[in-house]
Amino acid sequence: MADREKKEEAFVHLDLGGLFGGIGDLTESLSGLVEGRTTEVRRTGKFRVKGLDKAKGIYGLTMRVGLGGIPTIEQFGNIRATEDGPVVAEELEPLVDLFDEGNVILVVAELPGVEEEEIQVKVKDDVLSLSSVGDRKYTKEILLSSPVDPATMETTYRNGVLEIRLRKQQGCSG
């Protein structure tokens, strides 16, 4: 089954439609998920404000069919919804996958452009906080499927992909 990825770029002052274009293509991709022709649909894009090099927004979402055929949607990027409308934040929200492997939880996060020593991971009960410092900043809180033992955390980082393994607390295996 082929996974589909769609990327787009638009300059805000010229074409806001570029951010929202391709609705028909997105609808077709979602139909592929529902009908089982594909397992994942990912849409990403970015925009820049002409004349302001640092004013760049990155947005995206991944839709996939999870366990039991339940679809999930995860957003990533640096555009946040606020009461006053969308805001471009300094930090990006990384794309994260969560796998429940019985008595172990595996978290896989994409952090391109970050050095391993710039990554900070904190765990308390069933919440994992992930952030990075340096030129490229990421931040995200991840709700785990059960409480874990922080002392069991094992991490590996290669080619911009961080893997975190945590053992569930006693009596919490799935």
CATH number of the domain encompassing residue 129: 2.60.40.790
Cα–Cα distance list, 158 to 71, 113, 116 (Å): 29, 11, 8
Name the residue range of residue 73's domain: 1-88
- Within this chain, do residues 128 and 51 fall inside the same structural domain, yes or no? no
Residue 36 structure tokens: 């089982």
Choosing from 88, 123, 144, the residue where a domain stops is 88
Residue whose entry in the numeric block shows the structure tokens 């606020």: 82
Residues 104 and 132 in one domain: yes
* Gap between the Cα atoms of 112 and 87, Å rounded: 22
The length of the chain is 174
Q: Are 99 and 84 in contact (CB under 8 A)?
A: no
Indicate if 140 and 58 belong to the same structural domain. Answer: no
**Cα separation, 115 vs 102, whole angstroms:** 31
Split into its structural domains, the chain has a count of 2
pLDDT in single tens digits along all 174 residues of the chain: 344 444 433 333 323 344 444 545 655 666 666 666 666 666 666 665 555 555 567 777 677 666 666 666 667 777 767 788 777 777 888 888 889 898 999 999 999 889 999 999 999 989 999 999 988 889 999 989 899 999 999 999 999 999 999 999 876 655
User: CB 102: neighbour CB atoms within 10 A?
Assistant: 8
Q: Are 4 and 72 members of one domain? A: yes
